[in-house]
């Protein structure tokens, strides 16, 4: 006798209890602390902050722990919290020329004002498993330089001196930057909204798209003008005060990609730019973002749109991993009502097909009572 499946509530509660158990793991080991995650899994925390669009290391670390290290789940948890926060204002644009630089490299100049600063990078490490990390061996203090008070010239400014690169561009005086977390997107987008979407877009998706442009699907002849990582001040205009006050520093990664451009009827031959800016330290994301940003500007430069990376609706509609994972994973929700409808149709069409082809009816559906 069939009994309708009951007790969903108890099953869900038990599943969550089991999840909590698996999250905690072996009780004989100490639990990992939020401080430890912030300090030792910093790049995971950075990615969660970037793609959740919320700069808060402790909350991001909490999300990482709660998600058992599943990055997209952690991003989702943090975003669901972010969306409940009121938006009380808009910051003044951050000035990355005034960044307190921890790393800054350029691939277009051997040396340049401010120099090349390698900073904490995986580059040039040999990817050999390091047995010393199996235990907690003492780590030497890093070398430090005295902070340079002068702002560090951006590579785009160097090229701009010769007029060989497009400028920063001008927005109309009364332009209010869009906010895709508060207004539904409407295609085609302005570049501000597009950059916003890319900044919170999935690192893996943007990486693959950026890679595709390098392999000939919308080639953009890119050079890393510069990548810089460091802290910038976030300032907020307070109307009552009449001046901007600092809210504190955030760490960001900025990438200026310099791309060759042949010129068009409207524009002289010059270098064009793709731009990437993300919270925390994430060169891969910032670089991928800048490549995709440049590819998406095809329309602006009158380039033929021939590849996925140039297609704004395609890229932006599918770059959000929280949306993507939700919809892909919703397929595991029950769909038996719709499946029943399909089953009925396929059975009917199959019966007609068999009748046409003289196949004898094979009645596989027996009634339960038989």
Partner 1 sequence: MTDLATYNFAYLDEQTKRMIRRAILKAISIPGYQVPFASREMPMPYGWGTGGVQVTAAILGPKDVLKVIDQGADDTTNAVSIRAFFQKVANVAVTTKTREATIIQTRHRIPEEALTAGQTLVYQVPIPEPLRFLEPRETETRKMHALEEYGLMHVKLYEDIARNGHIATTYAYPVKVEGRYVMDPSPTPKFDNPKMHMSEALQLFGAGREKRIYAVPPYTDVVSLDFEDHPFEIQHFDKPCALCGAEQVYLDEVVLDDKGGRMFVCSDTDHCEDRREHGHAGHLLAQQEAAE
Question: Is 345 an interacting residue with respect to partner 1 (CB under 8 A)?
Answer: yes
Q: Which of 90, 349, 351, 355 binds partner 1 (CB under 8 A)?
A: 349
> Per rule CB under 8 A, is residue 182 in the interface with partner 1?
yes
Which residues, numbered 44-63, are part of the site for partner 1 (CB under 8 A)? 58-59, 62
Among residues 130, 237, 342, 354, which is the contact residue for partner 1, using CB under 8 A? 342
For residue 227, CA distances in Å to 113, 156, 208, 285, 336 come to 14, 11, 19, 11, 51
- Rounded to whole angstroms, the Cα distance separating 307 from 210 reads 11
Tell me which long-range contacts 238-244 makes (C-beta under 8 A, separation of at least 24). Answer: 238/89, 244/92
Stretch that binds partner 1, among 9-17, 38-46, 156-164, 247-255 (CB under 8 A): 9-17
For residue 105, how many C-alpha atoms fall within 13 Å in the half-sphere facing its CB?
11
Stretch that binds partner 1, among 40-48, 110-118, 282-290, 359-367 (CB under 8 A): 359-367
Residue 88 engages partner 1 in binding (rule: CB under 8 A): no
Q: Is the dihedral of CA 39, 40, 41, 42 positive or negative?
A: positive
CB closer to partner 1 out of 71 and 291: 71
Q: How far apart are the C-alpha atoms of 350 and 342, rounded to whole Å?
A: 12
Q: Give yes or no for residue 12 binding partner 1 (CB under 8 A).
A: yes
Q: Which of 69, 82, 119, 234 binds partner 1 (CB under 8 A)?
A: 82
Kindly state whether residue 366 participates in binding partner 1, applying the rule CB under 8 A.
Answer: yes
Q: Which residues contact 186 (CB under 8 A, 6 or more apart)?
A: none
Measured distance CA(296)–CA(259) in Å, rounded = 13
Chain residues that interact with partner 1, rule: CB under 8 A: 1-2, 4-9, 11-12, 58-59, 62, 76, 79-84, 86, 181-188, 313, 317, 322-323, 325-330, 333-338, 340-345, 348-349, 352, 364-370
């Amino acid at each position: 006798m069939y009994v309708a499946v009951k007790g969903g509530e108890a099953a869900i509660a038990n599943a969550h209890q089991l999840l909590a158990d698996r999250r905690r793991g072996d009780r004989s080991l100490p639990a990992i602390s939020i401080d430890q995650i912030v300090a030792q899994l910093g790049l995971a925390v950075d990615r969660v902050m970037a793609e959740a669009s919320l700069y808060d290391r402790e909350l991001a670390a909490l999300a990482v722990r709660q998600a058992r290290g599943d990055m997209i789940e952690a991003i989702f948890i943090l975003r669901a919290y972010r969306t409940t926060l009121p938006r009380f204002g808009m910051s003044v644009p951050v000035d990355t020329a005034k960044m307190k630089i921890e790393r800054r490299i350029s691939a277009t100049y051997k040396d340049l004002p401010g120099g090349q600063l390698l900073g904490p990078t995986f580059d040039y490490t040999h990817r050999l498993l390091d047995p010393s990390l199996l235990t907690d061996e003492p780590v030497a203090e890093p070398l430090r330089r005295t902070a340079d008070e002068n702002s560090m010239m951006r590579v785009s400014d160097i090229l701009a001196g010769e007029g060989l690169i497009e400028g920063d561009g001008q927005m109309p005086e009364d332009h209010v930057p869009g906010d895709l977390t508060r207004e539904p997107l409407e295609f085609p987008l302005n570049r501000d909204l597009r950059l916003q979407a890319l900044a919170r877009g999935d690192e893996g998706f943007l990486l693959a798209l950026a890679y595709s442009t390098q392999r000939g699907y919308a080639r953009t002849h890119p050079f890393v003008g510069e990548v810089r990582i460091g802290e910038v001040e976030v300032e907020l205009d307070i109307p009552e005060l009449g001046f901007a006050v600092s809210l504190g520093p955030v760490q960001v990664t900025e990438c200026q990609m310099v791309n060759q451009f042949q010129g068009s009827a409207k524009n002289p031959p010059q270098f064009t730019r793709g731009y990437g800016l993300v919270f925390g330290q994430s060169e891969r994301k910032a670089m991928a973002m800048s490549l995709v940003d440049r590819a998406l500007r095809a329309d602006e430069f009158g380039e033929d749109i021939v590849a996925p990376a140039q297609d704004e609706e395609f890229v932006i509609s599918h770059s959000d991993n929280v949306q993507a994972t939700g919809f892909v994973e919703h397929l595991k929700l029950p769909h038996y009502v719709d499946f029943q409808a399909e089953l009925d149709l396929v059975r009917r069409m199959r019966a007609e097909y068999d009748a046409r082809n003289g196949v004898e009816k094979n009645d596989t559906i027996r009634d339960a009572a038989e």
